[in-house]
Amino acid sequence: METFREMYNRLVRASLNKSLNEEIEKIKSSEEYSEQQLEYLLHPEKYPAVLNLDECGHCEEEPTSCQVACLFSAIKRDENGKIVVDSSVCVGCEDCIMACKSGSLVERKDLLPILETINNREVPVYAMIAPAFNGQFTMDVTAGKLRSAFKRLGFYGMVEVALFADILTLKEALEFDRTIHDDKDFVLTSCCCPIWVAMIKKIYNQLVPHMPPSVSPMVACGRAIKRIKPDAVTVFIGPCIAKKAEAKEPDISDAVDYVLTFQEVQELFEVAGINLADMPEDERDHSSTAGRIYARTGGVSRAVQTTLDRISPNRKVPLKATQADGARKCKELLKEITEGNITANFIEGMGCVGGCVGGPKALIPFEEGTKYVDQYGELASYPTPIDNPHVIELLNELGFNTVEDLLERDNIFIRDFSVTPDKK
């Protein structure tokens, strides 16, 4: 029987050649093929970030290795002893996939419906590239070359999510300035990592009141595109499969239609015969240093600190930041906070070691990713979002007359942490 990976590669090639339907019929005419796996590939929007390919129940030990690896108790056995992924709990951290001994657990693949939407040419499809991109595809591959490559594939355009990290930095700085008045106050930054946010919501939900109601830069980017181009299809691209789960959360599911990883995109470029280093430049420099450094541990804290220094230089209570990276360290930090062991007032958590640059689908080690993110940040024309005229112009286009309007409770950069998915 054709493996899931073989079927996926075969259908991607067919879609690039505009012969997907013919290839699907060939697969269905075969005596041996998995109807469920074909469904996973053709309609990924119906499924959680982590898939069980063969209704695995191979492991005899209790709990199984994948269950032990999951910090969220999302891996369970059904009444028949088969392993199932609870989509209402799974955050897509990939720990279970790495722990799976049989290879039955894999991340969801969103690519086929994206390519078919592009081929149909009925609506504009936008690529939204995460701030962690710099250096991932070698240092010869700039944002401008990536933009040209996505256009070659048929995307309408590519947007750097760092511009929306700028906007969220500004919002978080304003929230901090409004919220922190004495040494007892603190905030848990909520605008970046879905694993960190999920851990607070699902395990330490007594801390939810300390999270400013901010969407992630990914969601902010998707919503802004759809506000300006209502019929647009939005595709986020980054190093993290947890974003596949985040995109489906009920209160923010309107923003991002599909999520691809850096690894999936690299494979796509290879199959399409696109050499990124040879692509022409299509450079549009819009983000500040603050937005560009979101991708590494401590980046959010530094971004908010420098922005706060600009908008409120005479604050009586200074920002005192602490960070945790890696899911287990995040859990330890949150436990300490609930026990009252806290000295910081701005607390940043990243579910992967090194931050987003250490995501499971990054293409380079996180140490290199951190270096390249910092280098890209230093090249920015503006140090903070309040200095960035592109941020102010975009906010005006989106209906924000002043930056303070970002604090209004009815805008596209606000989320509702009280909304939870139905149990399945």
Residues 17 and 56 reside in one and the same domain: yes
Same domain, 215 and 91: no
- If you average pLDDT over every residue of the chain, what do you get? 92
pLDDT higher than 70, residue 82: yes
Helix, strand, coil percentages in the chain from 3-state DSSP, rounded to 5 = 45, 10, 45
> pLDDT, tens digit, for every residue of 128-147?
999 999 999 988 899 999 99
Q: Are 145 and 156 part of one and the same domain?
A: yes
Spatial distance between the Cα atoms of 110 and 265, rounded to a whole number of angstroms: 11
Q: Are residues 191 and 279 in the same domain?
A: yes
Contacts 24+ apart (CB under 8 A), 409-414: 409/213, 412/215, 412/220, 412/223, 412/224, 412/227, 413/167, 413/168, 413/171, 413/214, 413/215, 413/220, 413/223, 414/213, 414/214, 414/215
Q: With 0-12 CB in 10 A as exposed, 13-18 as middle and 19+ as buried, what is 35?
A: exposed
Domain that holds residue 44: 4-108
Q: Are 18 and 118 in a shared domain?
A: no
CA atoms within 13 A on the CB side of 287: 30
- Residue 423 confidence class, pLDDT cut points 50, 70, 90: very low
Minimal CA–CA distance to 299: which of 333, 348, 261?
348
Last residue of a domain, one of 48, 77, 108: 108
Q: Given 46, 76, 108, which residue is the final one in a domain?
A: 108
- The answer to whether residues 162 and 214 belong to one domain is yes
Q: Are residues 104 and 119 in the same domain?
A: no
Beta bridge partners of 50: 107
CA 318 to chain centre: 30
**One domain, residues 336 and 246:** yes
pLDDT at res. 138: 86
Q: Which helix (H) or strand (E) segment is 35 a member of?
A: helix 35-42
Shared-domain flag, residues 156 and 177 = yes
Calculate mean pLDDT across residues 386-408: 94
Which of 343, 273, 331 lies closest to 12, judged by CA?
Answer: 273
User: Which candidate, 311, 286, 305, places its Cα nearest to that of 393?
Assistant: 286
How many Å apart are CA 52 and CA 104, to the nearest integer? 6
Amino acid code (one letter) for 418: S
For position 421, what pLDDT does the model report?
A: 47
User: Do 75 and 210 belong to one domain?
Assistant: no
Extended strands (E) in 25-165: 50-52, 75-77, 83-85, 105-107, 125-129, 157-160
Least confident of 70-79, 109-118, 351-360: 70-79
| SS3 of residue 78 by DSSP | coil
How would DSSP label each residue in 105-129? Answer: EEE---HHHHHHHHHHTSS-EEEEE
C-alpha–C-alpha distance, residues 228 and 68, integer Å: 44
Spatial distance between the Cα atoms of 36 and 169, rounded to a whole number of angstroms: 42
DSSP string, 259-325: EEEHHHHHHHHHHHT--GGGSPP-------HHHHGGGSTTHHHHHHHHHHHHH-TT-SS---EEEEE
Q: Are residues 26 and 104 in the same domain?
A: yes
Given 93, 108, 123, the domain boundary residue is 108
Say if CB 170 and CB 220 are below 8 A apart.
Answer: no
Residue 178 — very low, low, confident or very high, per pLDDT cuts 50/70/90?
very high
pLDDT tens column, 405-416 = 999 878 899 988
| 119 compared with 64, residue with greater pLDDT | 119
Indicate the pLDDT class of residue 420, thresholds 50, 70 and 90: low
131 and 43, same domain (yes or no): no
Give the pLDDT confidence of 146-155 residue by residue, as tens digits.
999 999 999 9
Q: Tell me, what CATH number does 42's domain have?
A: 3.30.70.20
Report how many domains make up the chain.
2
Q: Specify whether the CB–CB gap between 342 and 320 falls below 8 A.
A: no
